[in-house]
Amino acid sequence: MGARLTREWFARTAPEVAPALLGRHLVRHLVDGTLVRVRIVEVEAYEPDDPASHAFRGPTRRTVSMFGPPGHLYVYLIYGLHHCVNVVTGPVGYGSAVLIRAGEPLAGHAAMRTNRGVDRLDRLCSGPARLAQALEIDRSLDGSDLVGDRRVWLEAGEPLPPDRVRVTRRVGVRVGVVTPWRFVETDSPWASPARGI
């Protein structure tokens, strides 16, 4: 469904890349050969001077990939049991990324149902940790290159027109609430459950 997004495409600030990622396809080649495809419907941007960002205090062992070249994955463990998938943006050393929060399952439904342990399509990828679990993405994929890796990549898909993009505050962050950097497809049934936003 279109060519891979290029290195240059990712080399912008996170708030620029984030809404442009809506409607794009996140594709995962599982170890067993299954191809899983998800249409991105919800994202959040994180910037270097952003107190809610893992990059805020500079690079650490965990966040090193966030400061690397754009177009790579940054994957982290949260609450000791969930993984979250991010796309690194900006130039080398910048420290910005876009969190992929939810997607519409397009292919590989059976594998995703198995990975998630649920049947309902709208529960497979409707949240950052759910999406990571459905696509079998964990710390072992941290730093993988979306432009060249065989296991995971991003395709052009069909970008959303601006009037289909809703902008809100980010979910679950206690600081950095002044920046409305969550971008979600308007009225999408595939987005994460609205938590008062």
Partner DNA sequence: TCCCCGATTAACT
Partner DNA sequence: GTTAATCGGGGAG
Positions touching DNA (CB under 7 A) are: 44, 46, 52-55, 57, 60-63, 66, 74, 77-82, 84, 86, 97, 99, 116, 118, 123, 127-131, 170-174, 192
20 versus 102: smaller Cβ distance to DNA? 102
The DSSP secondary structure of 82-144, one letter per residue, reads EEEEEEEESSTT--EEEEEEEEEEEE-HHHHHHHHT---GGGTSSSHHHHHHHTT--GGGTT-
144 versus 192: smaller Cβ distance to DNA? 192
| Tokens describing residue 133 | 């679990």
- Separation of CA 155 from chain center: 13
CB of 117 to DNA, least distance (A): 8
82 versus 164: smaller Cβ distance to DNA? 82
The length of the chain is 197
79 versus 178: smaller Cβ distance to DNA? 79
CB of 57 to DNA, least distance (A): 4
Per residue in 39-61, is it b (16+ CB within 10 Å) or e — as a string? bbbbbbbbbbebebbbbbeeeee
116 versus 150: smaller Cβ distance to DNA? 116
| Tokens describing residue 116 | 């998630």
Q: Which of 61, 68, 42 is nearest to 165 (CA)?
A: 42
CB of 132 to DNA, least distance (A): 8
107 versus 129: smaller Cβ distance to DNA? 129
d(CA 48, CA 57): 8
CB of 101 to DNA, least distance (A): 7
CB of 192 to DNA, least distance (A): 5
Residues 63/95, Cβ–Cβ less than 8 Å: yes
